[in-house]
Amino acid sequence: MAGLYTGGALASSGSQQAAACESLQDIINIAVTAEAFAVTALGGALDNAAKGLLALNAEQQQTLRAARAAERAHYDFLTSVGAKPLTTTFTIPNPKIVTDVPTFLSTLVVLEEAFIAAYIAAAQQFAILGEAKYAQVALQIGAVEAEHRAGVRFYAIQAGVLSGTPNDVAFEKALFASVGEAAAALTQLGFIGGSGAQITFPGPGAIDTAGVTNLVP
């Protein structure tokens, strides 16, 4: 998956396609679908960690619980303004994603970068539509996704999965010309409509908001 991300469709889609103006409803529907996926996937990873099937330490698990709470807060806000998920059933294209720590961490970095790019595209589209409040919220959410990326990179570097520094960019990558491209990327990577094991929103385990503030924009 990382190879597809860095050298294939995800990296090139934003530069190859012109940004078409999407409707507000389409944008928030895609965004809430991504948030539903994040909540579900993190729930599955935490459940496997609790069962000893994914070797994450206590600090890493707490970080992921906080990230899951943030993603659920994003989901709740989006549904409160009328967003409707395109699907609440997702697929895991490679079982090692939720059992093997290097695969899990490298995949999570890929996904966080895609989510950041999706909200960059969303903010641009909201600005075109004259929706200043939604543009603000897109930036608020995108900033949190960037925090998640840096945190996951920290753990991946600790584990020897990646090299470098966790906060390694001055500008986040604007990978997508439209929000719809982000949804297409999740499908292409096999997380929506793929042939892997199915997971259903919200995934196992309760949402734990301990230590997480600003749960509404």
pLDDT for 20 equals 60
Give per-residue pLDDT as tens, 88-126. 999 999 999 999 999 999 999 999 999 999 999 999 999
Using DSSP, state whether 22 is helix, strand or coil: coil
| Prior bond of 217 cis (ω within 30°) | no
- Percent pLDDT > 90 in the chain is 90
In this predicted model, what pLDDT tens digit does every residue of 179-204 receive, in sequence order? Answer: 999 999 999 999 999 999 999 999 99
Summarize pLDDT for 51-98 with one digit per residue, the tens.
Answer: 999 999 999 999 999 999 999 999 999 999 999 999 999 999 999 999
Tell me if 54 sits within 8 A of 99, measured CB to CB: yes
Architecture of domain 2-7+22-200: Up-down Bundle (1.20)
Instruction: Go through the chain and tell me how many residues it has.
Output: 217
The residue among 10 and 125 whose pLDDT is bigger is 125
Residue 82 three-state SS: coil
Question: Model-level pTM?
Answer: 0.90
